[in-house]
């Protein structure tokens, strides 16, 4: 993908000239994404069906993505820029399938078994996967600071996981494995998305990726439900609507807009606010317990991810050796 030409891309110089705006977008997106698990857990009190919840969420999100995508195409035409090639569109759709269908389904399924706090902390480890996948497949690098950050991060996760395992047993193990799978696939999504966002612009890329994921989610639900429509309350639908708009549509565009102006590492560093917000919301709205052990594990995870992202961003800014 890195060899793909960008003849049909929007100019990227203006975005590069205001990197601080990327930090703002990334922070707002991370904050809104933090509310996702709260909406899901509240809806699961009525019916814990990951496929249905995900399909309804994406159905409610799809009109926004289609409308914004059409507007992005209109701006392309008005500016006299060529439309993205079919290959770019297909790659964006495939990336959306990976990042917002596969990862999202694993995440939703994991939330059936574990708390919103543990889900967010496990998912928050995806920058470590970004580092290792980048090294394996994208000619990235692994540094000593990166390994230290990974060690700190997973030591914190081990602390929280061990407490959950002793309290809930196999349910904690199943949920954690599912969300780790979500973190892995989301890391792959971020690595693949960078070049596509540069080529297509964050708005059009997001619209295509999320529309493709929405279609995949609906097809999945129709297959597992054998075409039977969902039967839920208006309260449930209200929670899905909140998850769709405030925890899906808005943060999706904000995160990708931030990613288009900054690096994946910088975006990861800014997202360190996400677990803290989720923990606060989970304690307030879900009544989840937050113990001293949880505090130690949370601090280690945030410290590890923050240290890795900070050191990686610092290394990227360092002048090349002569």
pLDDT of residue 264: 64
pLDDT at residue 212 tops 70: yes
Q: Is 79 exposed, middle or buried (0-12, 13-18, 19+ CB in 10 A)?
A: exposed
pLDDT at residue 216 tops 90: yes
**4 domain-assigned:** no
Query: Across 4-8, 143-147, 285-289, which has the greatest mean pLDDT?
Result: 285-289
pLDDT at residue 2 tops 90: no
The per-residue pLDDT for range 52-61, each reduced to its tens digit, is 999 999 999 9
For residue 160, give the H/E element and its range.
helix 144-168
**82 domain-assigned:** yes
pLDDT at residue 10 tops 90: no
Confidence of residue 236 (pLDDT cuts 50, 70, 90): very high
**152 domain-assigned:** yes
pLDDT of residue 268: 64
* 255 vs 222, residue with greater confidence: 222
**302 domain-assigned:** yes
How is the chain split among helix, strand and coil, in percent rounded to 5? 80, 0, 20
* 162 vs 220, residue with greater confidence: 220
The per-residue pLDDT for range 17-26, each reduced to its tens digit, is 457 787 888 8
pLDDT at residue 74 tops 80: yes
- pTM of the full predicted structure? 0.82
* 315 vs 55, residue with greater confidence: 55
The residue to which tokens 């540069």 are assigned: 198
Residue 268 is part of which domain span? Answer: 17-315
- Nearest Cα neighbor of 309 from 271, 276, 278, 273 is 271
Indicate the number of domains in the chain: 1
pLDDT of residue 125: 84
pLDDT of residue 251: 86
pLDDT at residue 79 tops 70: yes
What's the token pair of residue 250? 């808005």
pLDDT at residue 64 tops 50: yes
Please report, to the nearest 10 degrees, the dihedral formed by the alpha carbons of residues 210, 211, 217, 221 taken in order.
150
Integer Cα distance of 208 and 117 in angstroms: 31
**322 domain-assigned:** no
**321 domain-assigned:** no
**190 domain-assigned:** yes
Q: Are 257 and 22 in contact (CB under 8 A)?
A: yes
pLDDT of residue 83: 83
Report, as an integer, the average pLDDT of 36-40: 94
**56 domain-assigned:** yes
Report, as an integer, the average pLDDT of 282-291: 91
Q: Are 32 and 247 in contact (CB under 8 A)?
A: yes
Report, as an integer, the average pLDDT of 252-257: 79
């Amino acid at each position: 993908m890195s060899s793909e030409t960008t003849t049909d891309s929007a100019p990227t110089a203006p975005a590069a000239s205001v990197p601080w705006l990327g930090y703002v977008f990334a922070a707002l997106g991370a904050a809104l994404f933090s509310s996702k698990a709260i909406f899901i857990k509240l809806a699961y009190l009525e019916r814990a069906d990951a496929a249905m919840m995900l399909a309804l969420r994406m159905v409610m999100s799809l009109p926004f993505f289609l409308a914004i995508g059409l507007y992005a195409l209109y701006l392309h035409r008005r500016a006299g820029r060529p439309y993205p090639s079919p290959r770019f569109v297909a790659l964006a759709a495939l990336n959306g399938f990976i990042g917002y269908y596969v990862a999202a389904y694993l995440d939703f399924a994991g939330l059936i078994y574990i708390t919103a706090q543990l889900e967010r902390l496990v998912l928050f480890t995806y920058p470590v996967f970004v580092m290792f996948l980048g090294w394996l497949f994208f000619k990235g690098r692994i540094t000593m600071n990166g390994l230290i950050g990974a060690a700190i991060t997973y030591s914190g996760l081990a602390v929280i996981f061990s407490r959950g395992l002793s309290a809930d047993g196999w349910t904690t193990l199943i949920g954690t494995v599912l969300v780790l799978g979500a973190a892995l696939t989301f890391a792959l999504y971020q690595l693949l998305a960078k070049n596509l966002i540069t080529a297509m612009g964050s708005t059009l890329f997001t619209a295509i990726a999320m529309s493709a994921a929405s279609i995949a989610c609906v097809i999945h639900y129709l297959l597992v439900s054998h075409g039977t429509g969902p039967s839920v309350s208006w309260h449930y639908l209200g929670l899905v609507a909140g998850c769709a708009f405030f925890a899906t549509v808005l943060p999706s565009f904000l995160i990708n807009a931030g990613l288009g102006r900054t690096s994946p590492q910088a975006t990861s560093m800014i997202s360190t606010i996400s677990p803290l917000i989720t923990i606060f919301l989970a304690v307030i709205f879900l009544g989840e317990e937050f113990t001293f052990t949880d505090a130690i594990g949370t601090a280690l995870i945030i410290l590890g991810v923050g240290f890795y992202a900070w050191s990686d961003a610092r290394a990227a800014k360092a002048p090349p050796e002569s």
